[in-house]
Amino acid sequence: MTTRISSHARPLAAATLCGAVLLAALSSSAHAAFNPPIRMTHGIEYMSGGIGSDEAKLMETVAPRWPATFEFAIKDHKGAEFASDVRVTVRDSHGAVLLDNVESAGPFMVARLDPGTYEVEARLRGNTLKQTLQVMPGAPARVAFLWPAGTDMASAGTRTVR
């Protein structure tokens, strides 16, 4: 025996099914990470996050879809700990500022940068690291900023590390 749904009832049945699937997905993943907000400055989209293991996994998953990924950590002889609240400035090869002292909301930041060469400055509690980033067409670029142990403590002065 087959059950037929009238053509008038099909949209309602489809909407009910979609709602049930969505509700089941939401309720079964109470700990699921949500995308951090995509922000824009000077016409450049960026997103940052990675606090907690679910959000860190999410940022690792989306990173290959963005042209540039920045990772922030504090390293000592035992290993590395993620760093957040890093202030990031990105300049193009002509010195124009594209991201101007934006704050990371976690140990990862991704940005939609056009192919080219960029100077990236990352500042954590008065300690500044600078690196050059080369973004190639169709290939995501990644750079890691590793501060020495003790950087997570309040710093009396500013120190630039290259």
Neighbours of 138 (CB within 10 A): 6
Q: Which residues of the chain have pLDDT under 50?
A: 2-3, 5, 9-30, 154-162
70 closest CA partner among 91, 54, 55, 90: 90
Domains (ranges, CATH) in the chain? 39-161 (2.60.40.10)
> So what's the pLDDT on residue 145?
97
In sequence order, the β-bridge partners of residue 127 are 124, 159
Please state, in angstroms and rounded to a whole number, the distance separating the CA atoms of residues 4 and 14. 14
Over the stretch 103-139, which tens digit does the pLDDT of each residue have? 999 999 999 999 999 999 999 999 999 999 999 999 9
> So what's the pLDDT on residue 86?
97
> So what's the pLDDT on residue 148?
92
Q: How far is CA 107 from CA 18, 52, 55, 73, 83, in A?
A: 35, 10, 10, 7, 5
Please state, in angstroms and rounded to a whole number, the distance separating the CA atoms of residues 47 and 66. 10
> So what's the pLDDT on residue 158?
40
> So what's the pLDDT on residue 150?
82
> So what's the pLDDT on residue 138?
93
3-state secondary structure at position 86 = coil
> So what's the pLDDT on residue 29?
42
> So what's the pLDDT on residue 76?
81
